[in-house]
A and B are shown apart, each in its own frame.
Chain A
Amino acid sequence: MKFDSIKGDSAQYRMLMIVFAAMAVAGVGSTWWAIEKGLWVTGMYNRVPWGLQIVMAVYYIGLSAGSLVISGLYGVFGKQEYKPFARIAVYVATLFLIAGLLSILTDQGRMDRVFVEPFVYFNLQSMFSINPILYIGHILICIVYLWALFYEKKTLTKVIATLAFGWAFCVHTGTGAIFGFGARVLYESPLLPAAFVAAAMASGTALMIVLIVGLFRFTKRHLDDELIVWLGRFLAICVIVVLYFLFVENAYRAYVVELRPAAIYYLFGGFHSVLFWIGLILVGLVTPLLILFRKTTGQSVPWIVFASCLVIFGILCERYVIVLPGLTHGSEIFPGMHITQSVVEEGIASYDISYVEVLQALGVFGVVAFMFGWGLKYLKLLPSEARVLHSSSTSDSAGNKT
């Protein structure tokens, strides 16, 4: 099997790269504005101290972990027919982890201290200290993994792929624990880290389906439909697991008397509830499931790609409805009583996404999309073809040495 890069001389490619660069510049500009003016310009405030950037960070880290799982189909499970996608999957995993880290970085009050203090004074009791260790390990593993794939190091690929596969689970478990081990009513849940892993696998698989089909179609390479159909089935299973976790989580909250008000707020309490029911449940999970399980649409690549796009959108909504309602709901300082007068906002708080946050989020996406485009042109990421291997004696054809 041969891998090569794209020429990158088409007008579409150039146009896309210009758009991504412009997005990145907008992101840098809005972040500079937030540093210069103070983080208040993002719309966050003392009652809602985290906003869209944290939502995006969690989302990107999930996409990264999920992409790595797809690369594991070849590296860990030795499924030779998925070898063509392994390089792209690991490269995307690396880029999206960088995106996650950039999102976190741009959200800090003192960015100038982020590169020193957390590594000098780390606190192993804090999920915020444990996670950077996981993220840096994740990036290093991805780089070694890519190197092993590029230079066709079979044994190293298997070892590092297995490590990466396990690490990806740990990474997103850790990310989920930031919230799940937190003291807020709508965060606190031992299920959350596992639910995060499920969401990561769903969104990562969906992203890989869209990317693979898109890239193969645009560069006119042969791609056997069966490979995508199988990934579609895998995606359907991930979506079912996500739904299952969501159901258990919310059923528990609705069942326990003490948590019922929080459950009602979560499910029927405002904009986030609309995102939950419409964006996540209906559009992001149930509709893709119907598409993937129907015989005609579940076998059709365009339909599977459409379902994947819906899942990518749905999981973004899921990240929002995890991060924000937990903050707007607030802490119960006086159980059984309520605060009627205060100098600050008490009770249920409000939160609106600001244009600064949107620009920052687009900027981070622009950076990684540009790096992805650059990688396609200068790295041998794309295979010449991807075919189903029908014989069991699959010999690995010599890959080209870069």
Chain B
Amino acid sequence: MDRRDFLKTAGGTLLAGTSCAYAFRFLTSAGWASADIPSSGKKWGMIVDLTKCREGCTACMDACRHENNVAHFGDERWDIHWIKKVKVESQVGHKTMEKNVMLLCNHCDNPPCAQVCPVQATYKRDDGIVIIDHHRCIGCRYCMIACPYNARQFNFRDNEEWPNKDRPKRSHGVAESCTLCAHRLDVSRMPACVEACEQVGAGALLVGDINDPDSNISKIVTTGAVKRIREDLGTEPKVYYIGL
């Protein structure tokens, strides 16, 4: 075999090998990230009872920030909020209605953020939680463009605060959003925001398994007394609101 033949053979083999690898990736691309994890059969969802949410209370936001080391610089442009409280005003006839609404990642069944992620860093876990692999995210911010709920944020700055040493320190250059405290749910603990809301005695937040017909969340959802934000978009959010 002369050099030319060797290069041809080597090049051909490399091309064929790469093609096979990519073909395999094509065929298994849907949900490949969690392909090896056995199904838990669970589907986590959240209920936000706006009738119980207290005026001026920020317990859930504070707990989330502390639990997940969420960056806070005191500047609304770059501050990150995995969960945030907003005041919404609507006009009903002559009356102006005001409500406090908690906004967070809706952990959609059809998450637009995961669809547009060019590196599959954002993916939906088998239990329905939409999560970001921060070791793979390239920081393109296309998920922020795609998310209709403005639930995605980006670490534009380095965050020096690191209150919870059990959780990773946030680094700049990657996208962020609520993980529904997956690390807690995985060890049968409630998310930090839910726990904090319980502790202040409001109990406005509830997380549970929608697939379990006996769970509290299932019973409330099936009454039909709940609403989801922008259901018309077909994203199938799993955060349900009472009193929206």
> Are A124 and B26 CB-contacts (below 8 A) given A46-B78, A46-B80, A343-B76?
yes
- Asked if residues B148 and A183 are in contact (CB atoms below 8 Å), the reply is yes
Give complex CA distance A40, B139 in Å.
13
Instruction: Judge whether B183 is part of the interface by a CB distance below 8 angstroms.
Output: no
Binding site for A on B (CB under 8 A): 25-26, 29, 61, 76-81, 84-90, 98, 101, 103, 112, 115-121, 136-142, 144-150, 153-158, 172-175, 229-230, 233
User: Which of A219-227, A331-339, A360-368 faces chain B?
Assistant: A331-339
Give complex CA distance A129, B87 in Å.
37
- Asked if residues A117 and B136 are in contact (CB atoms below 8 Å), the reply is yes
- Asked if residues A341 and B172 are in contact (CB atoms below 8 Å), the reply is no
- Asked if residues A50 and B79 are in contact (CB atoms below 8 Å), the reply is no
Q: Smallest distance from the beta carbon of A279 to chain B beta carbons, Å?
A: 24
- Asked if residues A123 and B120 are in contact (CB atoms below 8 Å), the reply is yes
- Binary CB contact string for chain A from 95 to 122 against chain B (1 if under 8 A, 0 otherwise): 0000000000001111001100110111
- Binary CB contact string for chain A from 37 to 72 against chain B (1 if under 8 A, 0 otherwise): 111100011110110000000000000000000000
| 6 residue pairs bridging A and B, Cβ less than 8 Å apart | A110-B138, A113-B138, A118-B119, A331-B150, A340-B89, A346-B86
Q: Main secondary structure on chain A at its contact with chain B?
A: loop
Instruction: Judge whether A127 is part of the interface by a CB distance below 8 angstroms.
Output: yes
- Asked if residues A339 and B87 are in contact (CB atoms below 8 Å), the reply is yes
Instruction: Judge whether A402 is part of the interface by a CB distance below 8 angstroms.
Output: no
Give complex CA distance A290, B101 in Å.
54
Smallest CB-CB A-B distances: 5 pairs: A109-B139, A109-B173, A45-B77, A341-B87, A128-B118
Instruction: Judge whether A184 is part of the interface by a CB distance below 8 angstroms.
Output: yes
Binding site for B on A (CB under 8 A): 37-40, 44-47, 49-50, 107-110, 113-114, 117-118, 120-129, 132, 178, 182-184, 187, 327, 330-346
- Asked if residues B157 and A108 are in contact (CB atoms below 8 Å), the reply is no
Give complex CA distance A47, B84 in Å.
14
Taking a contact as CB atoms closer than 8 A, the residue among B112, B119, B141 that contacts A49 in the complex is: B141
Residues of chain A lying within 8 A (CB to CB) of residue B156: 38-40, 44-46
Taking a contact as CB atoms closer than 8 A, the residue among A37, A46, A332 that contacts B154 in the complex is: A46
Residues of chain B lying within 8 A (CB to CB) of residue A342: 84-87
Taking a contact as CB atoms closer than 8 A, the residue among B86, B103, B120, B142 that contacts A341 in the complex is: B86
- Asked if residues B78 and A40 are in contact (CB atoms below 8 Å), the reply is yes
Residues of chain A lying within 8 A (CB to CB) of residue B137: 109-110, 113
- Asked if residues A182 and B141 are in contact (CB atoms below 8 Å), the reply is no
- Asked if residues A344 and B81 are in contact (CB atoms below 8 Å), the reply is yes
- Asked if residues B172 and A39 are in contact (CB atoms below 8 Å), the reply is yes
Give complex CA distance A212, B209 in Å.
67
> Are A127 and B86 CB-contacts (below 8 A) given A109-B138, A182-B145?
no
Give complex CA distance A95, B119 in Å.
26
Which residue on chain A has the smallest CB distance to residue B149?
Answer: A333
Give complex CA distance A117, B81 in Å.
27
Taking a contact as CB atoms closer than 8 A, the residue among A110, A118, A121 that contacts B173 in the complex is: A110
Give complex CA distance A107, B141 in Å.
10
Which residue on chain A has the smallest CB distance to residue B235?
Answer: A183
- Asked if residues B118 and A337 are in contact (CB atoms below 8 Å), the reply is no
Which residue on chain A has the smallest CB distance to residue B88?
Answer: A337
- Asked if residues B79 and A344 are in contact (CB atoms below 8 Å), the reply is yes
Give complex CA distance A345, B89 in Å.
16
- Asked if residues A327 and B145 are in contact (CB atoms below 8 Å), the reply is yes
- Asked if residues B118 and A344 are in contact (CB atoms below 8 Å), the reply is no
Q: Smallest distance from the beta carbon of B169 to chain A beta carbons, Å?
A: 14
Residues of chain A lying within 8 A (CB to CB) of residue B144: 46, 49
- Asked if residues A128 and B89 are in contact (CB atoms below 8 Å), the reply is no
Taking a contact as CB atoms closer than 8 A, the residue among B142, B154, B230 that contacts A128 in the complex is: B142
Q: Which of B89, B117, B145, B175 has the most CB of A within 10 A?
A: B145
> Are A334 and B229 CB-contacts (below 8 A) given A45-B156, A110-B174?
yes
Which residue on chain B has the smallest CB distance to residue A109?
Answer: B139
- Asked if residues A339 and B86 are in contact (CB atoms below 8 Å), the reply is yes
- Asked if residues B136 and A121 are in contact (CB atoms below 8 Å), the reply is yes
- Asked if residues B145 and A124 are in contact (CB atoms below 8 Å), the reply is no
Taking a contact as CB atoms closer than 8 A, the residue among B81, B141, B172 that contacts A50 in the complex is: B141
Residues of chain A lying within 8 A (CB to CB) of residue B155: 38, 109
Residues of chain A lying within 8 A (CB to CB) of residue B89: 337-340
Residues of chain A lying within 8 A (CB to CB) of residue B174: 109-110
Which residue on chain A has the smallest CB distance to residue B174?
Answer: A109
Q: Smallest distance from the beta carbon of B124 to chain A beta carbons, Å?
A: 12
Residues of chain B lying within 8 A (CB to CB) of residue A344: 76-77, 79, 81, 84
Residues of chain A lying within 8 A (CB to CB) of residue B229: 333-334
Residues of chain B lying within 8 A (CB to CB) of residue A50: 141, 145
Residues of chain A lying within 8 A (CB to CB) of residue B79: 46, 343-344
Residues of chain B lying within 8 A (CB to CB) of residue A113: 119, 136-138
- Asked if residues A46 and B172 are in contact (CB atoms below 8 Å), the reply is no
